[in-house]
């Protein structure tokens, strides 16, 4: 359960690369666009802006939503608009907010942790939809959509770090 009564989402992605290499990958606009392309987005505008200690990432995308249950279709539609905002305070920690056209919020963090000779990227979100009766179902659905996106980004990241560029 999240802080505001919604649900807590956590996903870990291990990489066979140092935290510095994972951060450099996440700071590369080419990687961000490749990741979105792998997710079959309808359209994307990705920007990465360096800051004095980290970076600001803005990914504005239109995503397809195949296979949605009928109750969710009226709230989400055949496509959904998502604005992903990351504020990296340093090379290991970021705040994350995902804004969508659904009546809910997704806010949390991204952390890059050293693990052995590699790294682990951890994404945590509090997902909350303030609608009676269907809010919990929509929260789970949003978590599933985020998980699918993150898993695709992880596969793209593993290939990227291995030198594969689309």
Q: What string of pLDDT tens digits covers the 166 residues of the chain?
A: 444 468 999 999 999 999 999 999 999 999 999 999 998 788 999 999 999 999 999 999 987 666 666 666 666 666 778 899 999 999 999 999 999 877 788 999 999 999 999 999 999 999 998 777 778 888 888 898 889 899 999 999 999 999 987 5
pLDDT at 93: 98
What residue ranges in the chain does DSSP mark as E strands?
Answer: 7-15, 43-50, 55-64, 79-88, 93-100, 104-115, 118-129
Q: What is the pLDDT of residue 84?
A: 95
Residues 103-133 pLDDT 10s: 788 999 999 999 999 999 999 999 998 777 7
Q: What is the pLDDT of residue 19?
A: 98
Q: How many CA atoms lie within 13 A of 62 on its CB side?
A: 5
What is the reported pTM? 0.88
- Percent with pLDDT over 70 in the chain: 87
């Amino acid at each position: 359960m999240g802080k505001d009564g919604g649900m807590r989402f956590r996903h870990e992605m291990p990489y066979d690369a140092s935290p510095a290499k994972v951060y450099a990958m996440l700071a590369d606009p080419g990687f961000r666009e490749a990741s979105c392309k792998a997710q079959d987005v309808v359209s994307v505008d990705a920007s990465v802006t360096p800051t004095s200690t980290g970076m600001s990432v803005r990914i504005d995308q239109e995503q397809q939503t195949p296979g949605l249950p009928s109750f969710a279709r009226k709230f989400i539609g055949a496509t959904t608009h998502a604005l992903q905002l990351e504020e990296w305070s340093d090379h290991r920690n970021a705040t994350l907010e995902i804004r969508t056209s659904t009546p809910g919020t997704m806010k949390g963090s991204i952390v890059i942790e050293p693990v052995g000779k590699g790294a682990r990227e951890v994404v945590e979100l509090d997902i909350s939809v303030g609608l009676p009766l269907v809010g919990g179902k929509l929260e789970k659905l949003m978590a599933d959509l985020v998980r699918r996106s993150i898993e695709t980004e992880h596969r793209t990241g593993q290939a990227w770090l291995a030198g594969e560029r689309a």
